[in-house]
Structure 1
Amino acid sequence: MKRNAKWKIILNLVLLLVILGVMFYFVQNSMRAIFIELKETNLILLAGVLFLGLLHQFFEGCGIKETVRGFAPNFTIFDGMMTSFYSAFYRVITFGAGTLLAEIGFYKKKGIKISQGVGASTLHMVSYKTAIITYAILNFIFYFTSMLKQRPEMIGMILIGTILTSLLVITLVLLSLSLNIQVAVLLFCNRFVHNEKLRYYVDQANLQINALHQAMQSVLADKASLLKIYLFNLLKVGAWYVIPFVCLQEEANNINFFLAFALISFTLVLSGVIPSPAGIGSFDFVYLFMFQPIIGTVDAVSSLLLYRFASFVLPFLLGFLVFLKERRKVITDGIEEIS
């Protein structure tokens, strides 16, 4: 028993050292420019960006709490925020691959079954994508005439991004609500999909759809809860969308609040369908493509770095604190077991 506890402590210390090494790599490479920009930013602007970043996380916590309310009545807004931080930390450390597993793992620590956690995390993603689509469509309608005159090449790209994201959401919702469609897809795969590797992914997708079906049925039983989840996601996405205008209002006079809001909404819907580890490179590329022609390279890069701090670095650092707290508990329990 004591020997197992010792190994548990050793393995957790090794894991901690590995994580610190990966963090050092990211700070030196991906985050270095962001920290330099923070150093050169005035305190009032930095406080505004920090507030909006935390406001996003607060609404994120509210949305997650409402999503899992049917599974875990004692799950709090703070727990929802911790879930977001924890997932953000593993998104960076695992280059995006471990985000879903981290979220499900955190749910499990709070007494939520794995199947329910899978459903909740998928519904969480669907709600987030729906909010992004909503803003993109509204801004597309509002700025269509202006784009047609000034940047017609954007129209096709925005439409493709919106359609692809909408198809993803619609497919997941239909599969989760209709058992007949799910059975038809399974029968089709059983008959025509014989590759073992491909079959594995099909089976995994089926498990996720089954879990999503349970989660959706639980939420749909309460229409008020579904509306709350949607509104919380609109608010959380909206908090991030305000950041570019806050960063640019003093430097760039040729961009107003609504235009900045529209451009960042188009950026999110486009970057979400461009493959890239954790969505980092694709977002940077699309952000500069949207903002650079209007405000210039210097202001575009500066606002991008501050946006990245609020949406990427801040939740990652807070997630690291959650991770440290978790590792500390595991190591402390191991020491007590030895004693």
Structure 2
Amino acid sequence: MKKNPKWKIVLNLILLLLILGIMFYFIQNSMREIFVELKETNLVILLGVIFLGLLHQFFEGYGIKETVGSFAPNFSVFDGMMTSFYTAFYRVVTFGVGTLLAEIGFYKKKGIKISQGVGASALHMISYKAAIVTYAVLNLFFYFNAILNQRPKMIAVIITGIVLTVLLIVTLIVLSLSLNLQVLVLLFCNRFIRNQKLRVYIDQFNLQINALHHAMQSVLNDRTSLLKIYLFNLLKVGAWYVIPFVCLQEEFNDIDFFLTFALISFTLVVSGVIPSPAGIGSFDFVYLLMFRPLSGTVDAVSSLLLYRFASYVLPFLLGFLVFLKERRTAITTEIENSSQI
């Protein structure tokens, strides 16, 4: 039995009000310090941070377009940017839990099957992690002696972050490309796992891996596209990595650009393997651990808040606009349907 269109309108309005309430909570609590910092920031630096944040999203849009291009040729760069904004919005309001579902849901709205959306989301994560590891490995190679002399204990932490990230990438790739491994896992589960609740999760996981397999095969058949995805991810991550230098160079004229680039690359690879809701708490901790010896606590916190604005708040606010447009369309559609009854 279908729901009455009037009830759908009410549910959409309730959802909108709920989201607005959550947004108010985040702005009043988690984001207040960031907005205070924005008011005290030099306009030139602020514009530079905003530009780098948008540049990241531009390259993100290109990367997503290439990722889904094999099964959605009409998917544009703008659609890719909207996907990123929409996902960033739901990452915040769901405390990171709904990130994957939001991305897959947006793909579905663009006519991409759920199975393909799952595969595209996994490829998106793999390419992003590959870019992070690339920068971390290169910077560790060039700054190994400097870190060893100044903070020798950090070497083991950075290497651990790199190794765990590589293991995650390799695991996803192996699971997605090896049909034999998928069959062996399925046979093992059929024989030894009897709990029905666990079986449901295992079956869902197997479907996702199977979808990822097809998506990976589609992309791997086009090596040029694969290279583009990797390069766009290097560019998008690189845009964020310039932000600490932009924030700190006003107070520290002699600060080394490449050193700040290296420190933020280590921050991303280490914080990415520390469990935390939406990755925010772990990132803040590692960022200050990396930058405090370089700039002092006050300037490190200031640059952190500006970095979080570009990488966290800005895409969230843009995603809110995408969400409003989506809700407006949904409510308008339901009102039109209700008037026709």
TM range (shorter): over 0.9
Q: State the alpha-carbon separation in 1 of the partners of residues 143 and 50 from structure 2.
A: 29
How big is the shift at 1:181? 1.6
Match of 2:275, SS state, is coil
TM-score (norm 1): 0.97
1:201 partnered with 2:226: no
CA distance in structure 2 between the aligned counterparts of 1:248 and 1:66, rounded to whole angstroms:
34
What do you get for the CA RMSD once the two structures are aligned?
A: 1.4
Say whether the 8 Å CA contact 1:63–1:233 is kept in structure 2.
yes
> 2:165: which partner in 1?
165
Q: Distance in 2 between matches of 1:7 and 1:136?
A: 52
Within a 5 Å distance, the mapping from 1:50-69 to structure 2 comes to 50-69=50-69
Instruction: After TM superposition, give the deviation of residue 50 of structure 1 in Å.
Output: 0.3
Where do 1:3-82 residues align within 5 Å?
4-82=4-82
Q: Does residue 1:191 correspond to 2:191, yes or no?
A: yes
Deviations 1:295-317 (A, max 9, x none): 10000000000000000000000
Counterpart position of 2:95:
95
Q: Does 1:125 align with 2:125?
A: yes
How many Å separate the matches in 1 of 2:163 and 2:191?
A: 30
Q: Which residue of 2 aligns with 1:322?
A: 322
Q: What is the CA–CA distance in structure 1 between the aligned matches of 2:92 and 2:181, rounded to whole Å?
A: 35
What residue identity is the alignment partner of 1:56? H
Match of 2:4, SS state, is: helix
Aligned partners of 1:255 and 1:295 also within 8 Å:
no
Gap change, CA 1:3 and 1:285, over 3 Å in 2 = closer
The separation in 1 between residues aligned to 2:215 and 2:237, in whole angstroms, is 22
Quote the Cα distance in structure 2 between the aligned partners of 1:4 and 1:197: 33
Are the equivalent residues in 2 in contact too, given 1:5–1:338 (CA < 8 A)? yes
8 Å contact kept, 1:2–1:338 = no
Question: Equivalent residue for 1:238?
Answer: 238
Aligned partner of 1:310 in structure 2 is 310
Alpha-carbon distance, 1:184 to partner: 1.8
Supply the AA of the counterpart residue of 1:46: L
Counterpart check, 1:110 vs 2:148: no
What's the offset of the Cα at 1:207? 1.5
CA separation of 1:95 and 1:258: change in aligned 2, threshold 3 A: same
Residue of structure 2 equivalent to 1:219: 219
Across the two proteins, how many residue pairs are aligned to each other?
A: 339
What is the distance in 2 between the residues matched to 1:198 and 1:54?
42
| Distance of 2:202 and 2:300 partners within structure 1 | 42
Deviations 1:59-79 (A, max 9, x none): 000000000001111000000
Distance in structure 2 (CA, Å) of the matches to 1:192 and 1:160: 33
Residues 190 and 3 (structure 1), Cα distance of their counterparts in 2 relative to 1, 3 Å cut: closer
Q: Secondary structure at the match of 1:138?
A: helix
Distance 1:206 1:306 in 2: 40
Quote the offset at 1:334 in angstroms: 1.4
CA-CA distance at 1:206 after TM superposition: 1.5
Q: Within 2, Cα distance between the matches of 1:254 and 1:267? A: 22
One-letter code of the match for 2:304? L
The residue that corresponds to 1:296 in the other structure is: 296
Tell me, yes or no, if the aligned pair for 1:252 and 1:299 is still in contact at 8 Å.
Answer: no
Contact 1:177-1:217 within 8 A present in 2 as well? yes
- Name the CA shift for 1:197/1:269 in 2 (closer, same or farther; >3 Å): farther
In structure 2, the CA distance between the partners of 1:167 and 1:9, relative to structure 1 (3 Å rule), is: same
The 3 A distance-change label for structure 1 pair 115 and 337 is same
Q: Measure how far apart 1:253 and its partner are.
A: 4.1
TM-score scaled by length of structure 2: 0.97
Paired residue secondary structure (1:275): coil
Deviation string, structure 1 residues 102-151 (Cα, Å, up to 9, x no partner): 00000000000000000000100000000000000000111111111111
Distance across 1 between alignment mates of 2:38 and 2:108: 36
Counterparts of 2:200 and 2:276, CA distance in 1: 23
Q: Which amino acid aligns with 2:312?
A: F
1:90 alignment partner AA: Y
| Amino acid corresponding to residue 89 of structure 1 in structure 2 | F
1:280 aligns to 2:280 (yes or no): yes
Q: Which runs of 5+ in 1 are unaligned?
A: none
Aligned to 2:181: 181
- Give, in whole Å, the separation in 1 of the partners of 2:281 and 2:200: 29
Structure 2, unpaired ranges of 5+? none
Mapping of 1:134-149 within 5 angstroms? 134-149=134-149
Q: What is the CA–CA distance in structure 1 between the aligned matches of 2:106 and 2:116, rounded to whole Å?
A: 12
The one-letter code matched in structure 1 to 2:230 is: Y
Question: What amino acid sits opposite 1:200 in the alignment?
Answer: V
Cα distance, 1:3–1:122 mapped onto 2, change above 3 Å: closer
